[in-house]
């Protein structure tokens, strides 16, 4: 059991869900602390029936804690989390800053739990779009090595934070009423629209969000030979990311075999009955910790290809739940 758990970014969109999950899952710890920026410091929140005062994030605030779960912007993680390590804490980070550092473990507990147990430094939680895809890829990769992945994402506005969802709701209202609206989270209107860019432009016309899916997938699965061709799109959905995924494997995997592999893998739920119009939808997957898979079918363009549809709550399994699951894994192995 951890003695003192510190939640950094406790008042943010993901931090709020981390708090809820720790309470809901009765995470074993003697004491909890909730830490945020100066703007939120001094406010109060309720956890397990007790009232807590939110503390201010400083480089000295980690003393006495032995586990830190951090959900902050990249620059904050870069500046403050080394101090948590120096204070002797186990650190689970949900930002993008540390993920691809050579000495940082990048972990999805269902996929590579040993990486967390072997970690001596920061343990990073992957990007939300990567997480659900790699959970889906792992059972296939174990059955027949994956050679190539083509993925298009349909990402919810909650992935852009609280302001992203506010832009969707308020922008949609303004659109329907015929009023102008100034978007703050997006460079184009998201109401009744799709934006085929998430993140800044990087090499060869790909965006930072797309390249995360390439490099993080290889690191988590421990295979640098996997080819990934991603396209990331923001869509007018409040929560839950959807992905259209096609994989090429060394040996063909039939849809029937894939369905059995998915059903047997922890954290996956198969919803796949096209005759009755049953498949994963953002509206039905919202609030769940699972990765949902449907529309499983043979890729008719390649003998070793398989296509499927994947939906998951990006704030939960894509962020908060994955971090809490890492914490639970560490707690069980103290």
Both tokens assigned to 79: 């500046």
Both tokens assigned to 52: 């807590």
Identify the three-state secondary structure at position 92. strand
Residue carrying the six token digits 């914490």: 327
Both tokens assigned to 96: 């993008």
86: Cα within 13 Å, side-chain hemisphere: 8
Closest CA to 137 of 230, 42, 44: 230
User: Which of the 8 DSSP states describes residue 53?
Assistant: E
The residues annotated with a catalytic role in the active site are: 128, 241
Q: What is the 3-state secondary structure (H, E, C) of 162-219?
A: HHHHHHHHHHHHHHHHCCCCCCCCCCCCCCCCCECCCCCECHHHCEHHHHHHHHHHHH
d(CA 139, CA 136): 7
Kindly give the pairing relationship between strand 29-36 and strand 2-8: parallel
CB 60: neighbour CB atoms within 10 A?
A: 7
d(CA 229, CA 221): 16
d(CA 107, CA 221): 10
Identify the three-state secondary structure at position 291. strand
């Amino acid at each position: 059991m951890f003695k003192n758990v510190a939640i950094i970014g406790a008042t943010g969109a993901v931090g709020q869900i981390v708090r809820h999950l720790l309470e809901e899952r009765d995470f074993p710890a003697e004491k909890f602390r909730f830490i945020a920026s100066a703007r939120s410091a001094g406010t109060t929140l309720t956890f397990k029936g007790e009232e807590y005062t939110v503390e201010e994030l400083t480089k000295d605030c980690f003393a006495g804690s032995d586990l830190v779960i951090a959900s902050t912007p990249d620059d904050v993680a870069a500046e403050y989390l080394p101090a948590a390590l120096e204070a002797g804490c186990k650190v689970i980070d949900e930002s993008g800053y540390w993920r691809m550092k050579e000495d940082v473990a990048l972990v999805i507990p269902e996929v590579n739990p040993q990486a967390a147990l072997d970690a001596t430094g920061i343990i990073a939680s992957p990007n939300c779009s990567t997480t659900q895809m790699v959970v889906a890829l792992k059972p296939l990769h174990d059955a027949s090595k994956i050679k190539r992945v083509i993925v298009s994402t349909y990402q919810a506005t909650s992935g852009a934070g609280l302001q992203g969802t506010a832009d969707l709701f308020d922008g949609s209202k303004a659109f329907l009423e015929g009023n102008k609206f100034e978007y703050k989270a997006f460079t184009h209107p998201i109401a009744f629209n799709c934006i085929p860019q998430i993140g800044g432009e990087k090499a060869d016309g790909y965006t930072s969000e797309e390249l995360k899916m390439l490099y993080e997938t290889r690191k988590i699965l421990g295979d640098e030979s996997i080819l990934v061709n991603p396209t990331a799109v923001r869509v007018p959905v409040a929560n839950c990311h959807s992905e259209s995924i096609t994989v090429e494997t060394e040996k063909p995997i039939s849809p029937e075999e894939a369905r059995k592999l998915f059903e047997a893998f922890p954290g996956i739920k198969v919803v796949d009955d096209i005759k009755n119009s049953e498949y994963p939808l953002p509206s039905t997957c919202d609030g769940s910790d699972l990765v949902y898979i449907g529309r499983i079918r043979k890729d008719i363009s390649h003998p070793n290809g398989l296509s499927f549809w994947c939906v998951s709550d990006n704030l939960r399994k894509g962020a908060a739940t994955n971090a809490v699951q890492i914490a639970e894994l560490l707690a069980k192995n103290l």
